Chain A
Amino acid sequence: MSETFEPVLTQNVGRPDALSLQGYRKTGGYEGLAKALKMEPAAVVEEVKKSGLRGRGGAGFPAGMKWSFIGKAKPRYLVCNADESEPGTFKDRLLMEVDPHQLLEGCAICCWAVEANTCYIYIRGEYTKAAAILERAIREANEAGVLGDNAMGSGFKLDMYVHRGAGAYICGEETGMLESLEGKRGQPRVKPPFPAVVGAFDKPTVVNNVETLCNVPHILTRGADWFKSIGTDERNTGPKLYAISGHVERPGTYEFPIGVPFRELLDKAGGMYRHGTLKAFIPGGASAPILPASQIDLKMDFDSVAKAGSMLGSAAVIVMDDTTCLVRSVARLAKFFNHESCGQCTPCREGTNWMELLLHRLEDGQGSEGDGKLLLSICGHIGGQSLCPLGDAAIGPVKSLVEGFWPEVEQHIRDKRCPFPHRRYFGNGAH
């Protein structure tokens, strides 16, 4: 199906003039906003609901549904989650660096739909280039009267701000991001209340991912039915960016209709690095359980990946060939989650630390038979019991290692060393 597919989100890739307002308007830019501003806010929400657009940040929650939950209080806020910090994920960066106005238009439509007059784009601190581009785009749009006090002459007031994070993965969690936005220590809040009711500055807030919002202008201009025609089924619609990295010839961000088979994705990325053999892949960023090579024909949409025992997440695909030590890979992921845990809730703070120590011990050949059971038990005590989803994210790769790749772990235990060539080692990572 993807042979006939025209890129939607990445249509302006390779067109440097799209960075400017003029250039963006050449390809029909801001027509979606103009159309939305003539509609009732509720009708816009309805249209997005009809399109079946699901959040592209990882959880896959229907975007239109989220907008309709917004609380009654005013003022309301839109916070665009551009804190893209999961290992392997780099799709939003492309969208922001190449086509900033597409994001601004999406934000503006969303603000109109939920009657918010302020939008914050919370951007990962390391994305200095993207932040500068967005700031320039906002200035340009304000000066041209597309945004600002009187957006496109409609009387709708809309202020946009770029807020740069300070380098914490946890600030990509929506409530952690709101805390950080308010100038506090970036750590998640207890839910409920959800941000839609009590969000930024205790006001109703919609939090959406960059890619989600970038889809919105296209839904408005081309209609929900067009959007629904792309994808596998009713629940998985629209175009999707896949960030593919690891042992492939041409890592990068590729746009496909959602539900593209993994094999096709791999081909597009140039196939395996130096014709290696596929051993395993992570379908949705560091927090997704690892899938074995046998899943090569998996359709990459929310439901199919979930059925295979993993999750699509942010659709950051990490490909690993047969020279990869999975124990070492998972230990590295565990180190990441331990390092990025905010430390407030017990299971995540203590559990991720313990898992990291244990996995390093296994990788060093010091493991014992009972460690698999122990790891699963720790995962059980973290899963579903942490304050925010980071705990659940941290156990994904670990669980899949023990459950799906146990022979490899066993080999480490039996040989009392790692059977794979010793590449650059990253320390025992106690802290």
Chain B
Amino acid sequence: MPTVTIDDRTVEVAAGTNLIDAGLLVGVQIPHYCYHPRLTVVGQCRMCLVEIWDNGRKMPKPQAACSSAVTKEGWVVRTDTPEVHEAQRGMMEFFLINHPLDCPICDQAGECALQDYAFKHGVAFSRFRFEDKRTYPGRERIPLGSNVLLNMNRCIQCTRCVRFTHEVAKTGELGFFNRGARVEIGTFPGKPLENHLSTCVVDICPVGALTSTRFRFAERVFYLDKKPSLCTGCEVGCNITVEHRRGKIKRYKPRFNPEVNDYWMCDYGRTTFERYAQMPRLQVPRNGGVTSGTIGWKEALDQAARKLRSRSAEGAVAFLGSPFLTVEEAWLFAKLADAAGSPHRSVPVDRGPTWTIPNLKGGITGIEAAPNRRGAELAGLTPGTPAGESASADVLDHDALLAGDGAAQCSVLVVCDSDFGRAAWSPETVERLRRARFLVVFGWADSPLAKVADLAFPVPTHTEKEGTFVNVEHRLQRFAAAYPPPGQDRPLVDVLVDLLSRFDASWAQLPSPKTAAVFDKLAAEIPAFAGITWETIPATGTSLHMPEAKARLDTISAERVPERD
């Protein structure tokens, strides 16, 4: 592998690595607009010009770092010579002479590469004083598709979006039209930008030319707080950044994870947070339904523990799980079911939108609207008990509860998540589940189900809690809470530990933070998690020890054809 010296820092790189990537390895940032690691190198923004000495011989002109690949020994690169600075200043001037400079009303302001580089590499005055700026009349707000709006005046013609639709989405809706100073981005007649990844062009647009119709004017980006999280739209488990202001989520953005979603995320996933704002929240524990009063946490937990203990004589105790529970929560529910001696536990799963998220290995397709079905089932929310007590036909699984008359046989029915799926919101299901003699509901949503529950516990949404999910490829990924939950909501893990300590006092000794302690405990118990601890889960997630799952995965990926329904 050849070595290259960039600004006096030497690094060994794989042959063919371009200088922008090589620079990042040693902490040298080379400014660029058109280069993107997943798109073809076109070298057209000319912002990444550097000087190269090839074995002591200086190349006659400044070279574009993006299109200069290190293939041999002896390259010395400088990004800080007067020539390079002069070239960068010149390029910034060119970008800005025809740019509207409408930052005060531009959505990109605050995360705009043009702003950043103007500060870093530009000059503070303009020599473009008497001429008219080039404008594209009538092209200031053109909907390219239902999710993306184009303002051609702001465009710097880097063609990232065009290359994205051709090379990543492979739909090719966008084109580069006209030429010279009049070039513009556009769609072909009758073919709008409608693919499941279309909003990614907004993310990769370095300026405010492409804006998202959903996020447009929702918030100034410099007021947004950002926390790493995971998308709950389907089982792919795209890494995202939750961007919110004071607990109001404004958007999800994809977060780079080469193993899962690379730089991308689907349009459907970006809309999934909207339900958190649209649905009513449950904010205080409640007993006896919505018409009755509220209740304190302690009394509510006492009452739940009492009900769970007084089981067998009167009927079954059943747990209706949810694919939206974290691994830790699911495991604690399973422990609770063990304590109640109940084999009736299962995870209902809805069919999702079925989109493929491209990555370097070809992509991951999500079929189920279930970010953590695999984790919940591994944690023990499958019919039967660890003692081996019956996985027989008369187990009250989710089919029996949601489609059949299973709830009528229950003395206590615990619904682990008031928003476990589409069925949770249908009056028939609510009516069916209500047939249980005592209905306990945990959840963030004050859904019709929570309204009729005998006991309703307010718990956070996934953006308000931390935990782990296991995706379709059995990859364990950790996420953090973006902001604290509202009202009297308590983290579900804390609630369940409290509840369990009423059965077994040793739970009260669990150290804080609880989620980490619970995870370490379950990892020690479940073989698939062996050797993994909360602290050592890498940022990109880690594969669980599941040889048979891995084999299945290989066959799945071989026949993976995106289905559209």
Contacts and interface: CB of A to CB of B under 8 A. Distances in A.
B168 interface: no
A341 B181 contact: yes
Interface string B170-192: 00000010111111000000000
A385 interface: yes
A205 to B, nearest CB: 19
Contacts of B180: 338-343, 349, 352-353
Contacts of B179: 168, 170, 340-343
A384 interface: yes
Given A190-B64, A381-B93, A385-B61, A344 B42 contact: yes
B46 A387 contact: yes
Interface string B78-109: 00000000110011011101100000000000
Interface in A344-358: 344-347, 349-354, 357-358
B91 A381 contact: yes
Q: Which of A339, A351, A354, A431 has the most chain B CB within a 10 Å cutoff?
A: A354
A144 interface: no
B161 to A, nearest CB: 14
Contact of A338 (B87, B130, B181): B181
Interface string A163-186: 000001010000000000000010
Contact of B91 (A341, A346, A384): A346
Contacts of A339: 180
A344 B87 contact: no
Q: Which of A342, A349, A366, A386 has the most chain B CB within a 10 Å cutoff?
A: A349
A386 B46 contact: yes
A377 B126 CA distance: 13
Q: Which of B41, B60, B94, B97 has the most chain A CB within a 10 Å cutoff?
A: B94
A374 interface: yes
A339 B183 CA distance: 11
Contacts of A344: 42, 44, 157, 159, 176, 183
B8 interface: no
Contacts of A192: 67
Interface residues of A, number: 35
Interface residues of B, number: 38
B267 to A, nearest CB: 28
B157 A343 contact: yes
Contacts of A343: 157, 176, 178-183
A381 B47 CA distance: 12
A276 interface: no
B407 interface: no
Contacts of A381: 86-87, 90-91, 93-94
Contacts of A28: none
Contacts of B95: 346, 350
B62 interface: yes
A384 B181 contact: no
A190 B43 contact: yes
B127 interface: yes
B77 interface: no
Contacts, number: 108
B131 A346 contact: no
Interface string B108-119: 000000000000
Contacts of A366: 130
A353 B97 CA distance: 10
A132 to B, nearest CB: 28
B91 A347 contact: yes
Interface string A366-381: 1000000010010011
Contact of B46 (A170, A347, A354, A361): A347
Given A385-B61, A385-B62, A347 B130 contact: no
Nearest to B87: A385
B67 A190 contact: yes
Nearest to A340: B180
Contacts of A347: 46, 90-91, 94
Given A347-B91, A353-B181, A190 B41 contact: yes
Interface string B55-67: 0000011101001
A358 B129 CA distance: 10
B94 A431 contact: no
Nearest to B60: A384
B309 interface: no
A170 B183 CA distance: 14
B156 interface: yes
A20 to B, nearest CB: 40
B90 A357 contact: no
A90 to B, nearest CB: 23
Interface string B17-44: 0000000000000000000000001111
Interface of A: 168, 170, 185, 190, 192, 338-347, 349-354, 357-358, 361, 366, 374, 377, 380-381, 384-387, 430-431
What are the nearest 8 A-B pairs in CB distance?
A: A381-B90, A343-B183, A353-B181, A350-B94, A190-B43, A384-B61, A341-B180, A357-B131
16 contacts: A190-B64, A192-B67, A338-B180, A338-B181, A342-B180, A343-B182, A345-B44, A345-B46, A346-B156, A380-B86, A381-B91, A385-B49, A385-B62, A387-B46, A430-B132, A431-B134
Given A353-B181, A381-B87, 12 more contacts: A190-B43, A338-B180, A346-B46, A346-B91, A347-B91, A358-B131, A366-B130, A381-B94, A384-B60, A385-B61, A387-B43, A387-B46
